[in-house]
Copies of this chain bind each other. A is one copy, B any other.
Amino acid sequence: MSARPTADQIATMRRFSRFYTRQLGLLVEGFLKSEFSLTEGRVLYELAHRDGLTAADLARELGLDAGYLSRILKRFEARGFLGRATAAGDGRQAVLAMTDEGRAAFQPLDQASEAEVATLLAGLSEAERRQLVAAMSTVERLLGGRTEPRVPYLLRPLQTGDIGWIIRRQGMLYAEEFGWDETFEALVAEIAAAFVKNHDPRTERCWIAEREGEIVGSVFVVRQSDAVAKLRLLYVEPSARGLGIGRRLVDESIRFARARHYQTLTLWTNDILASARRIYEEAGFRLVQEERHHSFGKDLVGQNWDLELRNGNIRALNSEASQT
């Protein structure tokens, strides 16, 4: 495991983030100044670049309140930018389609944004541009900006036979990757069996990630108390890693926990599981406790992470205080 990041590295990234916030402010201002709010622009962008979207898709992926999004879409529809068709298999859903008018309205904005970036880049020499683009690609690659998977996967509930597979695969994988012994597999079996036997579907759930007919990942959310849910046994098959499946499993877990009015989603992991840890961090989990332990035949560093669920965005708690 690498040395801890230096203070200088940390300071550089924080300074870069402040710098790029200002840079984004300039780019966003140029792009959207004419007619649409920032959020409207983000919605239009997704509608322009993807087919077959529903409102639920957009709400989830852009982190928007469904009611708020509904009004945005209604305004676009009123202006003739958007059409809807009831989904073939689900009368509740509307499939959204940008109209030619919508594309016509969006195109100047898209082109303005492109021109903005072009003029910014034009101020650099060709060598500087190549350097800049390479540096941006490096940042993106290292911080995890990955493309969507080419072979699709789906998430589904637990089915008969799944548990045995999950117990077996997690046992084998952690043995292979980390040398953990059979006591880990036993723990997985215990957790999974307890879930199957006793789980309350109102407050607990399991998701299975399936791809080309095979299980490629899973996660459990179990009830720890009325206020606290626990995320357990997140795993993704090596063959399916890097496709956003782990992130998606965690996102669904958070979504479920919020919908069930939990206040905290907690989890226990080990620091050696670096990919999982990064997913948790990016989802907003906070490291609340660390302790060394000897388990599964190894010396490990266990970590407890929590995600506070009450405020789905960056709204401060003192806004609630000011209501009193």
Contact = CB atoms under 8 A, between A and B. Distances in A.
Interface of A: 2-5, 8-10, 12-17, 19-21, 23-24, 26-30, 32-38, 40, 113-126, 128-140, 142-143, 145, 274-275, 277-278, 281-282, 284, 286-287, 308, 311, 313-319
Among A35, A278, A282, which residue has the most Cβ atoms of chain B within 10 A?
A282
B117 A37 contact: no
Given A139-B135, A143-B132, A118 B10 contact: yes
A10 B117 contact: yes
Contacts of A28: 314
A24 to B, nearest CB: 6
A319 B39 CA distance: 13
B16 A116 contact: no
Contacts of A27: 17
Given A19-B140, A139-B139, A14 B281 contact: no
Contacts of A17: 23-24, 27, 117
A21 to B, nearest CB: 6
A5 B118 contact: yes
Question: Which 10 A-B residue pairs are closest in the complex by CB-CB distance?
Answer: A5-B121, A135-B138, A16-B136, A135-B135, A19-B145, A123-B278, A2-B126, A132-B142, A12-B133, A2-B125
Contacts of A145: 15-16, 19, 23
20 contacts: A2-B129, A5-B118, A8-B133, A10-B118, A10-B121, A13-B120, A13-B136, A16-B137, A16-B139, A19-B143, A23-B143, A26-B281, A30-B284, A30-B286, A32-B316, A37-B314, A123-B277, A124-B142, A132-B139, A132-B142
A308 B117 contact: no
A3 B128 CA distance: 12
A70 B216 CA distance: 54
Contact of A126 (B3, B116, B120, B313): B3
A106 to B, nearest CB: 14
A17 B131 CA distance: 16
Contacts of A313: 29
A31 to B, nearest CB: 9
A29 B311 CA distance: 10
A121 B13 contact: yes
A114 B5 CA distance: 11
Given A37-B316, A132-B142, A138-B135, A118 B29 contact: no
B16 A114 contact: no
B281 A123 contact: yes
A117 B7 CA distance: 10
Given A15-B140, A28-B314, 15 more contacts: A2-B129, A13-B121, A14-B113, A14-B114, A14-B117, A15-B145, A16-B137, A16-B139, A16-B145, A32-B314, A35-B317, A37-B315, A120-B278, A123-B278, A135-B136
